[in-house]
Amino acid sequence: MSKNISLSTSFYDPLLSGPLKPLRKAITTALPEDKSTRVLDLCCGTGDQLLKLELAGYMDLHGLDLDPGMIAYAKHKSASISYHEGDAANTGLTEASFDVITISLALHDKDQSLRENILKEIARLLKPNGFALAADFCFDDKTKFMGRFLITAVEAFAGGDHYRNFKNYTQRGCMKNISPEGLFEIVEVARVLKNGIGVWKLSAGL
C-alpha cells in the first residue's frame, strides 16, 4: 500500500466501520432505488460509505477527499469506484452532474465560511432534481445522554480548531442552521447512534 497512508488513516476503518454501520445503512436506504444513480461522496475518507453503496448494487460511484492517503486507502478497497483528490469547496467537477451527493461527518469540524462554501459547491454539482444527504452530529432533546457524552469526548480529544468548530456547529443548532439562507430545503430523514447523528436530505431551495 502507498507510503502516503498515515497511521490514523489505517486505524479509521478498524475503529469506526463497526459503530458507523447504522449510519452507512441509513444513507444507503435514503438513496433512490435506481442503481444507475450517479453518486458523489464528498470528504469520502476511507470510502467506507461508497463501498457499502457498491455492495448494495450502485454502479456509478465517485468519491472526493483532500487527503491523498485517504484516497490511496479507498482505492485499494475498490477498483470500480472513481476517486478524486481535491477540495470539497472547489472540486473542479462538472456542474449539474450528480443525482445524489453524500457528505458524512465532515461539516461539524469546519469553520462556518468553509461549511457554506462546501454547501454552495454541492448545490452547483447537483442535477436539477438531485439532492444531497448530509450526515453529522445532532444534539437535541431526542439525543441520548450517552450519545452526547461520547461524541463530545471524542471531539474534545481532537481539540484545537476542530473542537472550536464542533462547538460552533452544535451552538448553531447543527445541520439545519449552517446552510446559506434559501440554498436548500432541509429535512431530517434518519437518526442513528443514540440519536447523536442525523441524516438530512438537502433539496434545492424555493
- What does the alpha-carbon distance between residue 51 and residue 56 come to, in Å, rounded to a whole number? 9
Q: To which residue does cell 448553531 refer?
A: 172
Name the nearest CA neighbour of 121 among 28, 202, 24, 27: 202
Nearer to ligand SAM, 48 or 99 (CB): 48
| CB 5, min distance to ligand SAM, A | 12
Q: Write out the three cell numbers for 183.
A: 440554498
| CB 106, min distance to ligand SAM, A | 4
CA atoms within 13 A on the CB side of 170: 17
| CB 79, min distance to ligand SAM, A | 20
Nearer to ligand SAM, 47 or 145 (CB): 47
| CB 189, min distance to ligand SAM, A | 16
| CB 68, min distance to ligand SAM, A | 9
- What does the alpha-carbon distance between residue 111 and residue 7 come to, in Å, rounded to a whole number? 25
Nearer to ligand SAM, 70 or 126 (CB): 70
Query: Residue 195 in contact with residue 138, Cβ under 8 Å?
Result: yes
Nearer to ligand SAM, 70 or 199 (CB): 70
Q: Write out the three cell numbers for 148.
A: 452526547
**Residue nearest ligand SAM, CB atom distance:** 45
Largest interatomic CA distance in the chain? 47
Q: Hey, what amino acid is at 46?
A: T
Q: Could you list the residues that contact ligand SAM (CB under 6 A)? A: 43-45, 48-49, 65-67, 70, 87-89, 104-106
Nearer to ligand SAM, 49 or 179 (CB): 49
